[in-house]
Structure 1
Amino acid sequence: MNRKNIFTITLCFCFIMQMFSQEKQVINTTEKYKQFGLVWGLLKYHHSEVSKGIYNWDEIFVENIDKLESIQTQTNLDTFLLNFVLSVKESKIKTDTTTDNEFTKNVDYNWIEQYSVNKELYTRLKKLENNTSIGNYYTSKSGIPTFENEKGFKAFDYKIKSHRLLELFSFWNVIQYHYVNKYLMDKNWFSELENFIDDFANGNSQLKYELAKTNLIVSLNDSHSYFFSKTVLDSLFTFKPPMTIVDVNDTLVVTRIFNKLVEKDDLKLGDLIFEINDMDIKSFLKQKIGTKISSSNEAHLKYWTRFLMWNKEDSIKVKIKRKDLVTTKYIHLYKTLSKDEDYSSLPFFSYKKEWQIIDDNIGYINLKTISKDDLKKAFEEFSNTNGIIIDLRNYPKSISGSDIANYTYPERKEFIKVLFSSRNRPSLAKFDKPAISAIVDPFKAGGKNSKYYSKKIILLVNNTTQSKAEYIGMAIQASPTCITVGETTSGAPMNVTLFKLPDATEIQFTAMGGFYPDGTGVQRKGLKIDHFVKETTSNFTEDQYIIKGIELIKSTTNKEN
């Protein structure tokens, strides 16, 4: 017998053994749900007919998911999945495998390879993977994903397992195919799917169900994706402390107290809390808040410090330092705190006006509420100042980055690159511009201006600088004399999109990716910082951001003189 015949026999034997092994392999319930949910999602966004919305795709999910109970082996499941694919009108296929100029870090179709033994199923799924002949019923083709036709599932009931699994796979698949920042998550979205399935499959009480949903959304690591379940909040954050705290370098400072309520616990303004329930503040924040709130980074997580001492019991254990004395005690907590309660607060220095001259000929602008007209007046007034401090530790209500660039750019320039979903290629993305860019490029600002403000500009940012504020910050940073001072920002610079879950809960997530013109990403990282502010528990009542800004402007002025 020649070598060729031996090789052929060996190959056939291996194939037969593989088929035999698969036929005998018992498949677990989680794996059955997983594979069906993957195929269902692929058809939803890649099939030419399903993606037009001509099928009630949620109803079809619910009708089929319970049929998996009788399936015992992978071979049987392959047959079921093939029949499921064949149950809808055959898809029109327009294949495009090119990825030139496309952002491919979110592409993840390797799971289709498991069906290579079933040639017909495998071939059909592979064709759908690269199909560009798709409708836009479930999302738009504008590059900015919108989901207006996701209206919830009629008569949704979390007590029904098929409904809970529909909730999971509806959201999981929209993130899988239309979330351009998916590649930035801490944990791989696909690898987490089995854990999500177990959570939703077993979430037969309202609290378990709402916790499963919370865990799902927290996994996005997106500061825009906050979700507050009343059931979860009521179960974990029932009682409140009789004080307000602020996180300064992972130490909590008591900044406000309800005078009568704190007497029994001997609490005073300025007390330092550095342990809660025998854990350091940073670790406790991650464990208690980080598992319930989606955050792009640790800086944004600190924004939710105010919930840190809320508890499901009416007291909480803390370790407190007052001067050199350290004590461990339980602080009483309360379900309600009266608005009329007498209270005391630490004095914080802040500038009250939207714009003014400060500290020996330095301009100050607070962007929170300033109008375009006042912005114009401010820059006219500041034309001969030694420098300007622009405060962006807020969310501007009335101005845009372009409004400021008109005074701070010598010429028109690009300040941001934006990553959009590809219009007919789920999972892919592209650095693109909206249709209006044919008229005016929205990612450029400023214009020819020989009288632009050329002295030092100090931009102040912190963890409250988010979304539109970060976008405006990027525009200001492109000013040739700008220096950014502060701490890491929220790390969610672009617009949000809304997705309505089957249970009618609306979840938002960042719709695009924001990058500096040099390609540096801002999502999760936050804005570039030139000088980080070093606040301490002894100096935080004085505005260290402003102090640093004045110092930088004066140092430049002294050099020039």
Structure 2
Amino acid sequence: MINNQDKQSSYGDFGGVYFEFPNTYIGKEMELTVYLKTNEVTGTAGVFYKTDARMPIQYAEVKGVKGTNDWQKISLKKAIKQSHIDQIGIGVMLKGSGTIWVDQVELKIDGQDYKNSTVYTKPIYKADLDKMFDNGSEVEIPSNYNEEDLDKLALLGQFWGFLKYHHPMIAKGEYNWDYELFRILPKYLSVKTKEQTQQILLNWIDSLGTLPHSSKEIENSIAMDWISKYDLNHELQSRLKTIANFPLTEDHYYLTQGRYVPIADYINERPYEQFALPDTGFRLLALYRYWNMVEYFYPYKSLIDNKWSEVLSTHLRPFIDASTELAYELALTALLTELNDSHALLLAGNNAIEQSLGEYHAPIRLNKIEGKWIVTEIYNPELLNGIEIKVGDEVTHINQETLASIEIRNKNRYPASNDAVYYRDLQRDLLRSPKEILNITYLSGNKSKSIDLKLYKRKELNIYYTFKVDRTKKGYYLLNNNIGYITLANVTNEDIEEVKKQFSDTKGIIIDARNYPSAFVPHSLGSYFVCKPTPFLKNLFPTLSFPGAFEFSKELTIKPGETKYKGKVVVLINEVSQSASEYAIMALKAGDNVTLVGAHTAGTNGDTAQVVLPGNRVALIGGAGIYYPSGNVTQREGIKPDVEVNITRKGIIEGKDEVLEKAKELLMR
């Protein structure tokens, strides 16, 4: 039995049990069956597979139920592709509040009990056997390094990455390419002339062996774009061109196609978890590894503010000089911010950053409204201890530093697609500290006041991150008896048929997408609002056998359901609407009578991949581009509202949801 009483949260309210199998198995299909009973589940109860050792359970494949249900059999099936499954885990989870009972859990491979199946043995590559630098890279960079040294290191980083993704011997797993970097670095750094530098690189190519014969040569001009920058000699250019034009197979030691969508999935990247603070060589490796993934497989590279080739040079110094765990994590975060992508997060291994920010939080919430940092909520009024600060007051200083200065100082700490998302994420940590007291200066009326504000641990506060979710409420209900209201944060696919029945005769429907969806409903809900198949987006995917190239998918369409809604539809959007929420908004906007109201969305859309970096840090990277059928992009710009409504200080003071009120007004016309 699993019981969870966490009724209100924005993320992380998961509980459950999990079992991990010691092996993976040969077969075409795996199936999990389980009997499940639920009582008053307000979120979702369900079962999941976990088939990727790098993915946390929250990202596993989940099929769930909701509410109160007697015993029922739930079955999940999944095709097996051995290059993708490196771990099998099964479990039962509860998201939200309620109680679930579990019985008769079974795992079958091709219809038979897993115990009777053949264990899959992963092939051993030569790269796997190279343990030379497991205890350290032995790379030392003199403390008096100069700009010429940095230029050489930038060239090496691009050269190393080019060979990693283009040379067939590396693709076959013949070389541990991380450790080959450490082998060449000492000699490479010791030479002084351009001729000597290029000869080392030429010898490096030759050491990999002669390219096997191929009857099918390709013309890969994209992979050669960077070469002219470094004035390489004719022989080196010719050798690189031959490698670039050599056709790659689908099987690559460091690269495979994503399990669910054809994005780059980065495999056999060692985490080097033995180093809390990786040494200089491993820190360089972290920079080179992530930079080259962006160089060849990131679909939005053309939208980055700074020229990507210059980003490598700019960030060498912080990685070389990072003498503490905090400095290393900040160097990683600063690199991620260069993508101008809110998906590019340091997902795990940011313990030093978290420790520096502290575990104490204020009992009040700030948001940037009309260019000022305004108190928008008092989480726990009883904890203010008589301090007279109220919703609508403007905070001007924190610990005697202006908010404008804090904004500038933290710009390279929060990966963000645009300014609105930066302010959204910065607010989480503005009133956070390792100490229990924070001094703030604020304007209340026309008076400026300075106070010492007591802080508390998160568990003591009714705090949330970017949006609030009440798990005790249904995901849909009536407003004013004639307007249907749906929130993507709570509605599930199981709710959709009932939504259509209850809202069929309403004057209009409001869909609140100012949150993150609890279920994937673009098609099940979007089909209610179209009368014919309607294209709503197309994907841009990398061509893995042709690094640096991308191609568009076919247009995705919303197909009409059995019934069509006849009224008006308004979708509420703002900078909190991100990723899956934006995907849903694009699908809903394809409807025949749909209006978007609010502010532009986060501009962070598309599937992502995880990247493991030295020191067991894990970052995200965008893998698929999302575009309108017309070819226009939503990344960074966000989805723009048809009717713009920005939150005002006056509205906050009066306790109004101004976006929702505007939606009601539009529907009642």
TM over 0.5: yes
Contact 1:78-1:121 within 8 A present in 2 as well = yes
Aligned counterpart, 2:635: 523
Q: Does 1:546 align with 2:668?
A: no
Retained in 1: the 8 A contact 2:380–2:461?
yes
How far residue 193 of structure 1 moved from its aligned partner, in angstroms, is 1.1
Change (3 A) 1:117 1:401: closer
Contact 1:176 / 1:189 at 8 angstroms: preserved in 2? yes
Distance in 2 (CA, whole Å) between partners of 1:204 and 1:357 is: 58
- Report deviation, 1:377: 1.4
- Matching of residue 187 in structure 1 with residue 306 in structure 2: yes
Deviates more, 1:166-175 or 1:244-253: 244-253
1:363 match: secondary structure = strand
Equivalent position of 2:626 in the other structure: 514
Residue 444 of structure 1: SS of its match in structure 2? Answer: strand
Task: Name the residue aligned to 1:326.
Answer: 447
8 Å Cα contact 1:357/1:364 also seen in 2 = yes
C-alpha separation in 1, matches of 2:190 and 2:648: 63
Question: Secondary structure, in 3 states, of the residue corresponding to 2:168?
Answer: coil
For 2:501 and 2:181, the matched residues in 1 are separated by: 62
Q: Please show how residues 200-215 of structure 1 align to structure 2 within 5 Å.
A: 200-215=319-334
Q: Aligned in 2, Cα 1:407/1:421: closer, same or farther, shift over 3 Å?
A: same
**Deviation of residue 91 (structure 1)?**
3.0
| Contact 2:605/2:634 (8 A) holds in 1 | yes
What are the ranges of 5 or more consecutive residues in structure 2 without an aligned counterpart?
A: 1-145
Q: CA RMSD in A?
A: 2.9
- Corresponding residue of 1:38: 158
Q: Which residue in 2 is equivalent to 1:118?
A: 233
Q: Say whether 1:139 aligns with 2:255.
A: yes
CA distance, structure 1, for counterparts of residue 307 and residue 525 of structure 2? 39
In the aligned structure 2, how far is the partner of 1:260 from the partner of 1:380?
43
**Cα deviations across residues 485-544 of structure 1 (Å, max 9, x unaligned)?**
111212122111111113322211221110111211011111131112132112132111
Does residue 573 of structure 2 align to residue 457 of structure 1?
A: no
Residue in 2 aligned with 1:427?
A: 548
Q: In proportion to residue count, which structure has more strand?
A: 2
Q: 1:166 to 1:302 in 2, by over 3 A?
A: same
Matched with 1:483 is: 595
Whole-angstrom distance in 2 between the partners of 1:95 and 1:204: 46
What is the deviation of 1:416? 0.4
2:507/2:667 contact within 8 Å kept: yes
The aligned counterpart of 1:230 is: 351
Contact 1:265 1:331 in 2 (8 A): no
Q: In 2 relative to 1, CA 195–265 (structure 1 residues): closer, same or farther, beyond 3 Å? A: farther
Residue 158 (1) aligns with residue 274 (2): no
Whichever residue aligns with residue 150 of structure 1, its letter is: E
Q: Is the Cα contact below 8 Å between 2:399 and 2:439 reproduced in 1? A: yes
Matched residue of 2:649: which SS? coil
Structure 1 counterpart of 2:606, which letter? M
In 1, the alpha carbon distance for the partners of 2:375 and 2:352 equals: 30
Give the aligned residue type for 2:574: N
Q: Is the 8 A contact 1:277 1:316 kept in 2?
A: yes
Q: For 1:139 and 1:463, how far apart are their aligned partners in 2?
A: 33
Gaps of 5+ in 1: 1-25, 100-106, 434-440, 556-561
Tell me the residue number matched to 1:253: 375
Task: Tell me: CA distance 1:269–1:257, structure 2 relative to 1, closer, same or farther (3 Å).
Answer: farther
CA contact (8 A) 1:484 1:529 kept: yes
Match of 1:13 in 2: none
Structure 2 distance, partners of 1:187, 1:62, is 29
| Partner residue, 1:372 | 493
Instruction: Pick closer, same or farther for the CA change 1:144–1:110 going to 2, 3 Å.
Output: closer
Query: In the aligned structure 2, how far is the partner of 1:154 from the partner of 1:429?
Result: 33
Provide the residue aligned with 1:49 in structure 2. Answer: 169
Residue matched to 1:535: 647
Per the alignment, residue 168 of structure 1 pairs with 287
CA change 1:282–1:140 in 2 (3 A) is farther
Q: Secondary structure at the match of 1:378?
A: helix
Matched residues in 1 for 2:660 and 2:462: separation? Answer: 31
Give the drift of 1:46.
1.0
Q: 1:253 to 1:259 in 2, by over 3 A?
A: closer
Normalized against structure 2, the TM-score is what? 0.70
Amino acid at match of 2:547: P
Q: How big is the shift at 1:116?
A: 5.3
Structure 1 Cα separation of the partners of residues 578 and 201 of structure 2: 44
Residue in 2 that maps onto 1:559: none
Going from structure 1 to structure 2, the CA distance change for 1:384 and 1:254 (only over 3 Å counts) comes to closer
Letter in 1 for 2:153: Y
Moved more, 43-52 or 219-228: 219-228
Q: CA deviation at 1:43?
A: 0.4
> 1:27 & 1:38 partners in 2: Cα distance?
17
Deviations 1:90-136 (A, max 9, x none): 3346543378xxxxxxx574431256562211111123334433552
Name the SS for the 1:327 alignment partner: strand
8 A Cα contact 1:254 1:272, kept in partner: no
Asked which structure has the greater RCO (Cα within 8 Å, sep 6+), the reply is: 1
User: What is the one-letter code of the residue matched to 2:660?
Assistant: I
The answer to whether the Cα contact below 8 Å between 1:368 and 1:396 also exists between their aligned partners in 2 is: yes
Q: Compute the TM-score of the two structures, normalised by the length of structure 1.
A: 0.83
Q: Structure 2 counterpart of 1:160, which letter?
A: D
State the partner residue of 2:81: none
- The residue aligned with 2:199 is 79
Q: Of the candidates 393, 397, 406, which is equivalent to residue 271 of structure 1? A: 393
Does residue 1:241 correspond to 2:359, yes or no?
A: no
Give 2:430's aligned residue.
308
Q: 1:338 to 1:52 in 2, by over 3 A?
A: closer
In the TM superposition, what whole-angstrom CA distance separates every residue of 1:32-88 from its partner, at most 9, and x where no partner exists?
222222111110001122122221111111111122232111111011111111110
Q: What CA deviation, in whole Å up to 9, does each residue of 1:145-201 have, x standing for no partner?
A: 101322324754635211111111111111111111122112222111112111111
Q: Do 1:367 and 1:396's aligned partners in 2 also have CA atoms closer than 8 Å?
A: yes
Identity %: 28
Aligned length: 507
